[in-house]
Amino acid sequence: MPDQDLRSFLAEYGESHPDDVTTIEAPLSMAEDITAVVWELADRDRHELLRFTNVGDKGTTVVTNMFASRPRIEHMLGAPAGGLHERYEDLAAGAVAPEVLEDGPVLENLIRGEDLDLNALPLLTHFASDSGPYITSGIIVAEDPEMGRGNLSYHRAAVVSRTGLATSLHSRGDLWRMLRGAEARGEPLPVAMVIGAHPLFMLAASARVSVDERDIAGGLFEAPLEVVRTPAYGIRVPASAEYVLEGTIDPADDVAEGPFGEFSGYSSDRSTRDLIEVETILHRNNPLWVDIVGGNSNEHLNLARVPREAEMIRKLRERFATVRAVHYPNSGAHFHCYVAVEQQRAGEARQIMLALLGWDPYLKTVVAVDDDINLTDDSAVLWALATRFQPDRDVFVVDGLPGSPLDPSSSVDGSTARMALDATRGADFDAIPIEISDGAMERARALLDG
């Protein structure tokens, strides 16, 4: 059972995996420098956890890139190599309600009234195309009596006044529905935004489930999530969070927000234009600032797609025993999915792709391949398309479906078409792949290494 404190995780991981943590002590600006480091490292195929100890005029410590590596997420979950999805699903199935504590580190400092100024937070600008600084790791916690449960969800946020955060609920998920319920009641919706918590809590917040994601966090921890109640509205938040911003969203408020660099790789100004009026700031002594570099960074994409892949694999295998693997590639920015199938009968791959396109509202394109294809290698999937696929018989399109409003090619309301490409070998496929014997390869390695 892991300690639920982010700082404990950072200490343990730094000790056990020193080569996968990079600390940068050189002074950096609050604008773009951290993003540039992440992008340059990714260009060098490096995705280590990053800790910057001297950011901005106040020398803030910023932690980022925690989820940029799948092996690192396996470590977080205690999963064996290659067992990420199975381990996530096994732990999530053990969901357990939080345990409320009387006190916790996040209550060490409380700021209210005239002392409250959101501009004092270490706000980072990530891209030159952004409208300004953004909070990118903010997890909004809401509790709604009509739904009978709470909800966690990520939402970008920009400071627009001393107490105001402009945010977007463009996902139209549970938080958006809670806000509509508050609107019908004629009242604002109390919320709390968590900035900086243990990575298992952050991973749970990415889940798309019909239960309280705090219960999922308890499953991932294999123990109840330890929470405290916020002072104004009693919202249950992680006891060891670095920051919590507590306030309300008034459905009647409207505030401009964006553009912001989204997972699509484009700057998006599509927004629901909501305003969080912050009443209380809670934070630990000497708080860390946890950042998620936005855009189509490895971390941004992994954080959302690992729970999604695990969910899709579980749902598909419950119905289709021949599904071997599912992968959302970086190149597809949440809109593409590859599925490996050991097809037993004609049309089975099509049925599986229809299920994927129906279950995941973000997907636009699914490619089905045989189980000899490495789904994590785009070139291998493209080779299967080049040699096992015929457009006149192996593609179908469904149009007029709801998609992501952050897809720049979709309609304004986010509707989209979806396409399935069957790149599996058909029954009459008789081509034989080229092959080099193991002995020849061993001799070649010995020759080149010697």
Instruction: For residue range 37-54, list pLDDT tens digits in order.
Output: 999 999 999 999 999 999
CA pair distance 92, 218, nearest whole angstrom: 8
Whether residue 269 is predicted with pLDDT greater than 80 in this model: the reply is no
Instruction: Tell me: do 276 and 335 sit in the same domain.
Output: no
pLDDT at 270 over 90: no
Q: What is the pLDDT of residue 386?
A: 95
**Which stretch of 178-182, 201-205, 221-225, 241-245 has the lowest confidence by average pLDDT?**
178-182
Q: What is the mean pLDDT of residues 199-208?
A: 93
State whether 258 and 389 are in the same domain.
Answer: no
pLDDT at 148 exceeding the cut of 90: no
pLDDT over 90 at 169, yes or no: no
Together in a domain, 49 and 113: yes
Residue-level pLDDT at 208: 82
> Does one domain contain both 364 and 247?
no
The count of domains in the chain is 2
With 90 as the cut, is the pLDDT of residue 105 above it? yes
Residue the block writes with tokens 């409207």: 254
Query: What pLDDT sits at residue 163?
Result: 96
Does the pLDDT value for residue 273 go beyond 90? no
pLDDT-based confidence at residue 188 (cuts at 50, 70, 90): very high
Residues 39 and 101 in one domain: yes
The contacts found for 323-331 with CB under 8 angstroms, 24 or more apart, are 323/352, 324/371, 325/371, 325/375, 326/85, 326/356, 326/375, 327/375, 327/376, 328/301, 329/375, 329/376, 329/378, 329/381, 330/296, 330/298, 330/301, 331/378
User: pLDDT (tens digit, 9 = 90+) per residue, 70-98?
Assistant: 999 999 999 999 899 999 999 999 999 99
Q: Does the pLDDT value for residue 1 go beyond 70? A: no
CATH number of 250's domain: 2.30.110.10
Query: What is the pLDDT at residue 432?
Result: 87
CATH number (domain holding residue 382): 3.40.1670.10
What percent of the chain shows pLDDT beyond 90?
A: 72
pLDDT of 396-424, one tens digit each? 999 888 877 777 777 777 788 899 999 99
358 within some domain:
yes
Range of the domain at 31: 6-293
Confidence (pLDDT) at 174: 87
As a whole number, mean pLDDT of residues 304-315 equals: 89
Measured distance CA(2)–CA(28) in Å, rounded: 32
pLDDT, tens only, 372-395: 999 999 999 999 999 999 999 999
Confidence of residue 171 (pLDDT cuts 50, 70, 90): low
Instruction: Identify whether the C-beta of residue 257 lies closer than 8 Å to the C-beta of residue 167.
Output: yes
Dihedral of the alpha carbons of 394, 335, 302, 150, in degrees to the nearest 10? -120
CA nearest 62: which of 108, 109, 105, 27? 27
94 within domain boundaries: yes
